[in-house]
């Protein structure tokens, strides 16, 4: 999963002033819990899940993703920490929180939006309304399962509000 995200960021490197940015996944980051000098961006996207117990597949149209990012201007290197919130199977009594599986198209759109935020925050660029252009690939309709959503449990899911 990390390679898909790093590849999407590398494709945007020209927009990031040629600096090198690395993506790491960190399940400990929280909304508004950024370290000094770091910035935050929260978004959501469609993703699929597979239960590790019963192998049931389900899709969710709003999976929360938190990004914390920081540019070390001395080394021209940036770090992006990502936390993708999990969901659990509604059929299994001992269900585990499962990792989301994002379509590549949605990773690309999430990274495109993130890069816009990085350009505004770290490089002080004025992008106007251009950071709203891309549409996420969303192929499902239906209710959000708040009882099985990690972000809802933590009170940060946009669907629960």
54-92: pLDDT as tens digits? 999 999 888 999 999 999 989 999 999 999 999 999 999
pTM above 0.85, yes or no: yes
C-beta separation of 118 from 16 below 8 A: yes
C-beta separation of 46 from 61 below 8 A: yes
Mean pLDDT throughout 19-33?
93
Mean pLDDT throughout 145-160?
84
Mean pLDDT throughout 24-47?
93
Mean pLDDT for the chain overall:
89
Look at residue 56 and give its three-state secondary structure: coil
Mean pLDDT throughout 101-124?
95
* Residue-level pLDDT at 135: 53
* Residue-level pLDDT at 61: 84
* Residue-level pLDDT at 62: 83
* Residue-level pLDDT at 39: 97
Rg (CA), the chain: 16
Look at residue 82 and give its three-state secondary structure: strand
Mean pLDDT throughout 125-141?
61
Mean pLDDT throughout 32-47?
93
Cα–Cα dist 10/40, whole Å: 20
* Residue-level pLDDT at 159: 65
To 10 degrees, the CA torsion angle through 137, 143, 146, 151?
Answer: 10
Give the chain's domain count.
Answer: 1
* Residue-level pLDDT at 133: 44
Backbone φ and ψ of 96, nearest 5°:
-100, 155
Q: Tell me the residue range of the domain where 155 lies.
A: 2-160
* Residue-level pLDDT at 22: 95
* Residue-level pLDDT at 161: 47
In this predicted structure, the answer to whether residue 126 has a pLDDT above a threshold of 80 is: yes
């Amino acid at each position: 999963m990390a390679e898909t995200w790093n590849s999407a960021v590398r494709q945007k490197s020209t927009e990031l002033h040629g600096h090198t940015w690395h993506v790491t996944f960190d399940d400990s980051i929280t909304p508004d819990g950024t370290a000094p000098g770091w910035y935050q961006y929260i978004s959501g996207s469609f993703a699929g899940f597979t239960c590790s117990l019963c192998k049931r597949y389900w899709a969710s149209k709003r999976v929360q993703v938190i990004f914390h990012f920081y540019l070390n201007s001395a080394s021209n290197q940036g770090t992006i920490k990502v936390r993708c919130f999990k969901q659990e199977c509604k059929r299994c009594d001992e269900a585990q929180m499962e990792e989301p599986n994002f379509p590549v198209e949605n990773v690309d759109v999430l990274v495109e939006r993130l890069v816009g935020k990085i350009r505004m925050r770290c490089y002080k660029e004025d992008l106007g309304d251009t950071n709203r252009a891309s549409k996420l690939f969303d192929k499902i309709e239906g209710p959000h399962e708040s009882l099985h959503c990690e972000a809802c449990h933590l009170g940060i899911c946009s669907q629960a509000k």
